Amino acid sequence: MERDDIIEYSLDTHHSEEEGKKIRKKIIFVTVLLTVVTAVEVGLGIWASGMDGIKWEMVKWSFIIMTLVKAGYIVMVFMHLGDERKSLRYFILAPYALFILYLLFILVSEANVLFGIRELLRLS
Amino acid sequence: MSGEASKVIDQTTLWEGGRSPFSVSYGKMMMWFFLISDALSFGGLLASLGFMKLKYADVWPSSELIFTHLPGTHGHFPLIYVALMTFILIVSSVTMVLAVEAGHRMDRKGVTLWLALTVVGGLFFVGSQAWEWMTYIAGPDGDISTWADNATLSGHYYGEGFSADNPVPGVPQYAQFFFFVTGFHGTHVFSGVVINFIILLNVLKGKYEKVGHYEMVEKVGLYWHFVDLVWVFVFTFYYLI
């Protein structure tokens, strides 16, 4: 039986000792970054406990931004998507972003309407 | 990096040369397809969590008042245990990427070491999650045998000590989403540990040495990093916000 896992693309994925050193350096950098961002998130989460209003909104958005930064580093460096061809990168990320943003838009606007209805029912 | 993808290939060969225009092997591309569909499931789950949070914005409990326990102590440590779990998963993701890197150098010893550490990290995470579930189900008295008497599962009162005099209002959806989201993720972690272990056995048997490349480690690595990626989002959208 012919094996389909032995093909030219895979045989090419080798690198030398020096290249390995450079890659490991990058891995350590990303590790430190992910750890620091997580620590900041937890600290902020404890500090902002019980906060509300505009302050909480700001904390919330900073959580979301930090999460996206972390996700970006994991996908681009750890999953090596940053080293793949541009065509592969876009055909993975673009449809996903499109669907999820659409779903979020629908659910967030629906939820806000339903929240408003609950408020109305409580007031009446 | 030295992978196939970064090589310069002229356009005519690429699109009409009888090869993958994405310059990846079949297996790797199918792993990405699977990850996209899995990411859509998790995305749907987290989006519906956001829906419930916004709909019940006035009564949705805050997680830092509920997850305050650490094993072996009775103090008040909000979010610390979850942060520890996050850290464990990040570290096991790092050991995985180091295993992939060692595979590119055909360093069998390195792959064995890092992959074994990844399996250990995964087991630590699954164990931590079991402890967290248990603590949550056990409720205020910390006694798992009397779980039926606590309000955690019925979801109407939450808060420090879960006492009825000092309640934080809640909705049943809070616990439902907790068990579903972390449970779905935990299942992924568990299957990831099993898959990593099988690949580790193959490495020990020298299978990839014979094949000539460690691409299989790269493929399971993609799955493992995906599991870490999902946890980053669960951590933010369930515990922090």
Please, which residues have CB within 8 angstroms of residue B36's CB and are 6 or more apart in sequence? Answer: A92, A95, A96
**What pLDDT, on a 0 to 100 scale, did the predictor assign at position A86?**
85
B2 pLDDT band, cuts 50/70/90, is very low
| Substitution target from B98, B236, B237, B239 for chain A, most A beta carbons within 10 A | B236
DSSP B194-217: HHHHHHHHHHHHTHHHHHT--HHH
Give all domains of chain B, ordered by start, each with its CATH number: 25-240 (1.20.120.80)
Question: In B, which residues are within 8 Å of A83 by CB distance?
Answer: 1, 3, 5-6
Q: What is the dihedral of CA A77, A80, A86, A90, to 10 degrees?
A: -80
Main-chain phi, psi angles of B143, to 5 degrees: -110, 110
**pLDDT, tens digit, 9 for 90 and up, residues B69-116:** 788 777 778 889 999 999 999 999 999 999 999 999 889 999 999 999
Q: What is the dihedral of CA B216, B217, B220, B224, to 10 degrees?
A: -170
For residue A21, the chain B residue with the least C-alpha distance is B101
Question: B160: which DSSP letter?
Answer: G
Tokens of B234: 């669960």
Question: B144: which DSSP letter?
Answer: G
Indicate the residue of A42, A67, A74 with minimum beta-carbon distance to B83: A42
Q: For residues B11 and B192, which has the higher predicted lDDT (pLDDT)?
A: B192
What is the domain partition of chain A in residue ranges? 16-83, 85-124
Element (H, E) at A109: helix A86-123
CB B158 within 8 A of CB B215: no
- Give Rg (Cα) of chain A: 22
Instruction: Calculate the average pLDDT of chain A.
Output: 87
**pLDDT, tens digit, 9 for 90 and up, residues A3-16:** 544 455 665 567 88
**Secondary structure of residue B158 in the 3-state scheme:** strand
Indicate the residue of A10, A49, A71 with minimum beta-carbon distance to B25: A10
**What pLDDT, on a 0 to 100 scale, did the predictor assign at position B189?**
97
Q: For residues B167 and B203, which has the higher predicted lDDT (pLDDT)?
A: B203
**pLDDT, tens digit, 9 for 90 and up, residues A11-53:** 556 788 888 899 999 999 999 999 999 999 999 988 887 788 8
Across the range B180-200, mean pLDDT stands at: 96
**What pLDDT, on a 0 to 100 scale, did the predictor assign at position B151?**
56
B196 pLDDT band, cuts 50/70/90, is very high
What span, in angstroms and rounded, lies between the C-alpha atoms of B229 and B188? 12
Res. B141: pLDDT tops 50:
yes
Range 66-85 of A in CB contact (< 8 A) with B: 66-67, 70-71, 74-75, 77-80, 83-85
Q: What is the dihedral of CA B114, B116, B122, B127, to 10 degrees?
A: -140
